[in-house]
Amino acid sequence: MPAEAEAPAALPPRALRERTITALVRWLIASAQRQPMLLLCEDLHWADPTTLEMMGELIEEMAASRLMAVMTFRPDFEPPWPQRSHVSHVTLARLSDAEAWRFAESALRGRNLSAPDLAQIVERADGVPMFIEELIAAVADRVPGSASPPPIPDTLQGSLMMRLDRLADAREIAQIGAAAGREFSYALLRAAAECDEETLQVALARTVGDDLLQRRGMPPDAIYRFRHALVRDAAYDSTLRTRRVQYHRRIAQALEQQFPGQAQAQPELVAHHHAEAGDRERAVAAAREAGERALNRCANEEALTHWAARANCSRSCR
């Protein structure tokens, strides 16, 4: 019988990282050759360095492919890759008055608003599409015939707060979700929320129905995502400091006790929640683990970020 083949030697972390990025890029290009693909990447300004490196390599390879990538990012973000002839930058400016009117009319979606209310909304939104949508939602849900209906909010934050206030009992569920992050699982929220499952599902249905949360899948396997980062920020900022600490502590405990696989794969997430809960020792330990894991993958910039967070935890949690 032939001698048993030796197992291939493990690749060094840097080589493994480079091969992984190259394999992902080749897989995307090959998939687009079989069928045209559209790749959407939102909020690129929040991407980690490894993701940006992969996107840069993808851009180099996609000139002759049937893959189209659309990436959104804030004006102050500078993409780390060089300009290429097949890459176009489009700056999204505020809507003109005429565009804002057309957008507002399309955003009504059957809601009945008076012409003066709609004119005031267009004026206050100042050409920001999301503000127009939020103001329409806030004003359209006012109680019909009310003797003193609440005024139209002056700011986007005010509009979001008005909608959160109307959630009543469901507001706390939205706030726990905001502590968990922009996106969270039903299972994690159920573990962190101190209510029965029926109450939780009713509250989540209310926030989804009010278009504050978007749902993917069905409970208990559902994933929820705040419609916009500003919606999440408004829910989080409206939470009392003492409540925030409680929510972060519950989430950290749930990750460690009920979702050990996720906690092991994302120690930086555990570190964040422990830090926000004021538990310095656990935050530092998790941040150290996150840095070591990143270093083992040769993700040096990520490792530095985690260790900087560890240092911050040591100071701020005292």
Q: Mean pLDDT throughout 211-229?
A: 94
What was the pLDDT predicted at 110?
Answer: 82
What's the CA dihedral at 283, 289, 295, 301 to 10 degrees?
Answer: -10
CA separation, residue 67 to residues 49, 70, 71, 215 (Å): 22, 10, 13, 27
pLDDT, the chain, mean:
87
What does the pLDDT read at residue 310? Answer: 57
What's the pLDDT at 138? 80
Encode pLDDT of 163-209 as tens digits: 888 888 899 999 999 999 999 999 999 999 989 999 999 999 999 98
What's the pLDDT at 311?
54
Average pLDDT over residues 277-286: 91
Q: How many CB atoms lie within 10 A of CB 312?
A: 14
- In the chain, which ranges are continuous DSSP H helix? 13-34, 49-61, 97-107, 115-125, 129-140, 156-165, 170-180, 186-192, 197-209, 229-237, 241-258, 260-265, 267-276, 280-296, 300-316
Angle at 191 between CA 186 and CA 193, to 5 degrees: 90
Contacts 24+ apart (CB under 8 A), 62-66: 62/29, 62/32, 62/86, 65/29, 65/32, 65/33, 66/32, 66/33, 66/35, 66/36, 66/37
In this prediction, residue 112 carries a pLDDT of 83
Q: Which tens digits make up the pLDDT trace of 103-118?
A: 999 998 888 888 888 9
Between CA 56 and CA 9 the distance in angstroms is 29
- How far apart, in whole angstroms, are the C-alpha atoms of residue 45 and residue 76? 9
Q: Is the per-residue pLDDT at 315 higher than 50?
A: yes
In this prediction the pTM is 0.77
Q: Give residue 312's pLDDT band: very low, low, confident or very high (50, 70, 90).
A: low
What are the domain boundaries of the chain?
Answer: 20-92, 97-141+152-165, 240-318
Query: How far is Cα 24 from Cα 39, in angstroms, rounded to an integer?
Result: 13
Task: Report the pLDDT value the prediction gives residue 102, as an integer from 0 to 100.
Answer: 94
Q: How long, in residues, is the chain?
A: 318
pLDDT at residue 1, rounded to an integer: 46
- Print burial letters for 103-117: b (CB count within 10 Å at least 16), e (below 16): bbeebeeeeebeeeb
